[in-house]
Structure 1
């Protein structure tokens, strides 16, 4: 993959997550300890951001670092549904096996109910 492309993909993903959280570049910068111009440069793919800084950005966005890499293509916009599904997956990754089983059963029941409607 072209170096610039991965920077743009990660930057675009950060921008999508930031907007979903209702944060400005300035607000995200404040939460993460960065200047807002640095956030803008990252979002435009102009900066090769360090892993430590990606961790700080993820923390400021209240997401797992893996979500910053959850892009599919630079041509695909992430829908609100895509982001909610990813949030559910992230929550399940941190849950106990008992809670995962319970969640699976609840989801099955909800989806089965909707088929009956």
Structure 2
């Protein structure tokens, strides 16, 4: 499925997220390209924000790096949070207790601010 980006800033945001995720995994452009069967020059173009479509190659890259399409738009990042948390728990089940602790800490902080 191919979708067109609504805002130029979304393209740049996606490119930055791809680059950050790639580097966090210690991958070069060539390494990532070999793993997802996308030429490294195309990945470089995407990271620089020079794409206008979310095509199948970009989706392969995002899937490999656990970047969800809906989370790359500046307006929808918060809406995508539940799906991202669910994917994290699916990938790393032990993270559920850690995430629950974080939520409880935030809730406690909010309760303590109420008068």
TM range, smaller chain = 0.5 to 0.7
- Which structure has more relative contact order (CA 8 Å, sep 6+)? It is 2
Structure 2 unpaired stretches of 5+ = 75-83, 106-115
Structure 1 unpaired stretches of 5+ = 73-86, 113-117
- Indicate if the aligned counterparts of 1:41 and 1:47 stay in contact, CA closer than 8 A: yes
- Indicate if the aligned counterparts of 1:13 and 1:68 stay in contact, CA closer than 8 A: no
- Please give the TM-score of this superposition, normalised by the length of structure 1: 0.56
How many residue pairs get aligned? The number is 90
Q: What value does the CA root-mean-square deviation take over the aligned residues? A: 3.7
Q: Could you list the runs of 4 or more consecutive aligned residues of structure 1 that deviate by over 3 angstroms after TM superposition?
A: 102-108
- Please give the TM-score of this superposition, normalised by the length of structure 2: 0.56
Q: Which has the higher helix share?
A: 1
Over 3 Å counting, the alpha-carbon distance change for 1:68 and 1:14 in structure 2 is farther
